[in-house]
A and B are shown apart, each in its own frame.
Chain A
Amino acid sequence: MNTAINSKKHKDYIIGFGLLILLLGTITVLEQILPRTSMIFTVLKKGAIYALVAVSMNLLNGFTGLFSLGQAGFMLLGAYTYAIFTIPVAARPQVYQYFDGGIIQFTIPVAAALILSGLVAAFFAYLIGLPVLHLKSDYLAIATLGFAEILRAIFQWDKIGVITNGSNLLKKYPVFKSCLFYFAVAIICITLIVLLINSTYGRAFKAIRDDEVAAEAMGINLAKHKQLSFVISSFFAGISGALLAIFQTTIQAKQFTSAMTYEILLIVVIGGIGSITGSCISSFLFIACSEWLLRFLDDAKLNFSSVQIFRPGFRKVVFAIVIMAIVLFYQKGIMGDKEFSFSRFTQSVKKLFPGFKKAKVIKSKSEGAAE
């Protein structure tokens, strides 16, 4: 029995890996044949970035049961660290034009900067975690939200403008045009998170989520594990912030508002709290809907009568109503707390259409590839 489950899991991993390769292959082909400006690339890049940050938030909210709303703050740290340490020295006088070129006059390689951006976010998370992690549910949420706002204020402060460029834009740092870069980083990071969740630490996190008192009685050090989860989650949020900086080509502290954290939280909720694959699927869906698929709703040509219902912004209203409906009536989200598994997927398809099995297997394969 045990070996049967294992082999099934094994098969799932292999299929998942195959799908991933297929996905990357498709993207490579798409990049060759479609124009660079196509909306699909924006969706793919932003989707990959949000998938990473959503998974990192899920690690905290879904797997450890710590309701934190500080994600935007850690993304800000990551984005700024990446930008500050990679702007070429030659471009610095131009970027830091109000601060005499800034005080940091060296650059580090992109890969090192990415990791450093994660580390800086993790370090701040460690400091912030010391006082706030013993707070419970909504108090923790509001305290982390507060810290994110404080960070945002500090980064716009003129006095440290020689490092952060005050409230001005940071730009001219190295960027990558290809989607593959974003996917590669996101996939590596998400894989690391999955490995962590399946390890002893991950089990301890889940135990804390399910029952703190019982977990403590079983010998789990609550403070240590909460701190660990918080720091690791912030590490990956920092990296996703760096990716966001790369994607946008310019970065400014002003944009990392609490509204951004709310969006990430909604992605996690739609995907299912406690499901990694759910977060990934929903972040692509979320970005695709808000940036691309629902755009037709903004089209004024759709109006029949003199009342201008369809005009810019309408898609956002429809989208928000759909989200509210999910939150109210479909609280489990897309995946609940389960993971996307190919065998379960085929099974549920078979259950839906009990008649013709053979044909469905082939169809479900193509559907699976589409996801």
Chain B
Amino acid sequence: MEFLQTNLPYFLAGISTGGQYALIAIGYTMVYGILRLINFAHGDVFMAAGLIMIYSYTIMPLWISIPFTIILTVLLGFSIERVAYKPLRTAPRMSIMISAIGMSYLLQNFALYITGGLTKFFPSIPWISDSITIFGAVTKRVTVITPFLTIFLVISLVYLIKHTKIGMAMRAVSKDFETSELMGIKVDTVISSTFIIGSFLAAVGSLLFFSNYSGVTPTVGAMPGLKAFVAAVFGGIGSIPGAVIGAFLIGICENIIKGLGWTTFSDAFTFVLLIAVLMFMPTGIFGEKQTDKV
């Protein structure tokens, strides 16, 4: 019981961080599944959502600023795809990746310009930022909400992909880009909707994440972004349940490592996991067999 009492806060924090990573990881895994592109700018979209929330909260009431943030983030993700990736659709894969890195550089510098290099603090949203006690462990309510919200969103997303027309189109495009184009699927629309879904989830993830860790700096998105990508690789890139499981695992392990007093290595752990996965299980847990990865 005592063991549980001391470790429960870390475990709870882990589940909550894991849920937030999961919401980002879905954006990575869906984009990779369709475009075969590591969207390096996705972490910065997550950061941008945090900043939009901070600035919009200062001028409008909460119940407008949350939807406003989500809509603006979705627009941002949509326009990034249109501006930076669409013109390069026929270019080699490396060019698109460089474009993604350039976009990430642009977003970070823009955020630096807007914030003036100062750490901005996320507003505490009433109710979800309140402290509560579970089994003697004090935590914020957002910690408890996150996993349920994440699972709810993932189930709706899986439903969308399995049972709607656009979902079917997404599956088709990720299976075979060219054939699906020949079958009359509007590939551009499908790709755009992927980015819209990814950015929407990143915006929700950002609201939850920054309610826990309130400091927003221009580079704050890079690390959660990379970790979410690792989660996506771990779960088998292209697979949504895989990405979610991977994200929860990474979130929990990372916080337990922090709890053991190895904070320096909490980030490094993720990459060790990544390399181990790439070495021994390159298709991840739920990934399809593919020959072009290794």
Contact surface of A with B, Cβ cutoff 8 Å = 67, 131-132, 134-139, 141-143, 145-147, 149-150, 152-154, 156-158, 167, 257-259, 262-263, 265-266, 269, 311-314, 316-317, 319-321, 323-324, 327-329, 331
Contact = CB atoms under 8 A, between A and B. Distances in A.
Interface stretch (B142-150, B154-162, B265-273): B265-273
Contacts of A321: 106
Contacts of A145: 226, 271
Contacts of B292: 136
B222 interface: yes
Interface in B71-117: 83-84, 87-88, 91, 93-95, 97-99, 101-106, 108-110, 112-113, 116-117
A134 B105 contact: no
Contacts of B108: 259
B275 A132 contact: yes
Contacts of A323: 102, 105-106
B267 A149 contact: yes
A266 B272 contact: no
Contacts of B265: 153, 157
Interface in B232-251: 233
B91 A324 contact: no
Given A132-B275, A317-B113, A265 B98 contact: yes
8 contacts: A67-B94, A139-B294, A147-B271, A149-B226, A153-B265, A259-B222, A313-B112, A320-B105
B101 A266 contact: yes
B279 interface: yes
B38 A142 contact: yes
Contacts of B293: 135-136, 139
A136 B294 contact: yes
B129 interface: no
A153 B105 contact: no
Contacts of A139: 278, 282, 293-294
Nearest to B219: A259
B101 A131 contact: no
Most buried by B among A138, A259, A329: A138
A142 B229 contact: yes
Contacts of A269: 98, 102
A143 B274 contact: yes
Interface residues on B, range: 35 or more
Nearest to B86: A328
Contact of A312 (B103, B105, B117, B294): B117
A67 B38 CA distance: 13
B272 A150 contact: yes
Contact of A311 (B93, B116, B233, B270): B116
Contacts of B274: 142-143, 146
Nearest to B91: A331
Contact of B116 (A141, A142, A167, A313): A313
Given A132-B278, A312-B113, 18 more contacts: A67-B97, A131-B275, A135-B293, A137-B93, A138-B36, A138-B38, A139-B282, A142-B230, A142-B233, A143-B275, A145-B271, A146-B230, A153-B265, A259-B105, A312-B116, A324-B84, A324-B99, A331-B91
A259 B98 CA distance: 13
A135 B294 contact: yes
Contacts of A314: 113
Which secondary structure dominates chain B's binding surface? helix
B116 A149 contact: no
A316 B94 contact: no
A134 B293 CA distance: 10
A167 B233 CA distance: 30
B133 interface: no
A320 B102 contact: yes
A317 B109 contact: yes
B36 to A, nearest CB: 8
B58 interface: no
B49 to A, nearest CB: 19
A135 B278 contact: yes
A47 B43 CA distance: 29
Contacts of A266: 98, 101-102, 105
B247 to A, nearest CB: 16
Ranked nearest first, the 6 interchain pairs of A and B with the lowest CB-CB distance are A146-B271, A153-B268, A313-B113, A320-B106, A316-B109, A150-B268
Most buried by A among B36, B117, B294: B294
Contact of A134 (B109, B110, B294): B294
Given A139-B294, A327-B98, A150 B103 contact: no
A143 B230 CA distance: 10
Nearest to B280: A131
Nearest to A154: B268
Given A266-B101, A269-B98, A320 B110 contact: yes
Contacts of B275: 131-132, 143, 146-147
Nearest to B93: A137
B95 A331 contact: yes
A263 B109 CA distance: 12
Contact of B93 (A138, A143, A328): A138
Contacts of B105: 259, 262-263, 266, 320, 323
Contacts of B110: 317, 320
B265 to A, nearest CB: 6
A157 B269 CA distance: 13
B38 A141 contact: yes
Contacts of B101: 262, 265-266
Contacts of B226: 142, 145-146, 149, 258
